[in-house]
Amino acid sequence: MTFTNPPREEIEALLGRARSIAVVGLSDDPFRTSHGVAAAMQRYGYRIIPVNPSIGSALGEKAYDSLASALSQPGASNLPDIVNVFRRSEHVSGIVEECIALGLPALWLQEGVIDDAAATRAREAGIFVVMNRCIMKDRARL
């Protein structure tokens, strides 16, 4: 079975109500796509939570080794509204498992990040899932 994204209206509703985005694979290099997309989302008013064990910070925010470590920090007031993934497709299954374990509400797999089985597993666990789309492009359409 091939994964199908939610209808446009539901995606727009998610982007309209979300306030924070954990960006898994966010680079501190301003020339990388993940950095540009996250910076644009930050300009739209979203709080960005960098998740990358290879960097100390990005876009003025402390980076975390994992979603779990970001959520276990003192002052971590709430779960991110969306987990946006900039990792290769072979890493998606592990990220989905972490999202399920943490009870995260929404998962967004960027363009080219595709894992039908993992996306379906996340959806079956109650996570709102968008796959193979650019969050910045969808937000720009609002």
In angstroms, the Cα distances linking 102 to 4, 37, 42, 120, 132 are 24, 24, 24, 17, 23
**pLDDT per residue over 75-90, tens digit each?**
666 689 999 999 999 9
Tokens of 83: 């987990």
**Residue 134: its pLDDT value, please?**
98
Query: For the chain, which residues make up each domain, given as ranges?
Result: 8-140
Contacts of 27 (CB under 8 A, 6+ apart): 34, 35, 52, 55, 58, 86
- Residue 82's beta-bridge partner residues? 21
What DSSP letter does each residue of 61-130 carry, written as one string?
Answer: EE-BSSHHHHHTSTT--S--SEEEE-S-GGGHHHHHHHHHHHT-SEEEEPTT---HHHHHHHHHTT-EEE
For 13, the 3-state DSSP assignment is helix
- Residue 58's beta-bridge partner residues? 61
**pLDDT per residue over 34-66, tens digit each?**
999 999 999 999 999 999 999 999 999 999 999
Superfamily of structural domain 8-140? NAD(P)-binding Rossmann-like Domain (3.40.50.720)
Confidence class of residue 73 from pLDDT cuts 50, 70 and 90? confident
Q: What is the 3-state secondary structure (H, E, C) of 16-65?
A: HHCCEEEEECCCCCCCCHHHHHHHHHHHCCCEEEEECCCCCEECCEECEC
How many Cβ atoms sit within 10 Å of the Cβ of residue 57? 12
Q: Tokens 């039908």 identify what position?
A: 116
For 131, the 3-state DSSP assignment is strand
Write down the mean pLDDT value for the chain.
Answer: 95
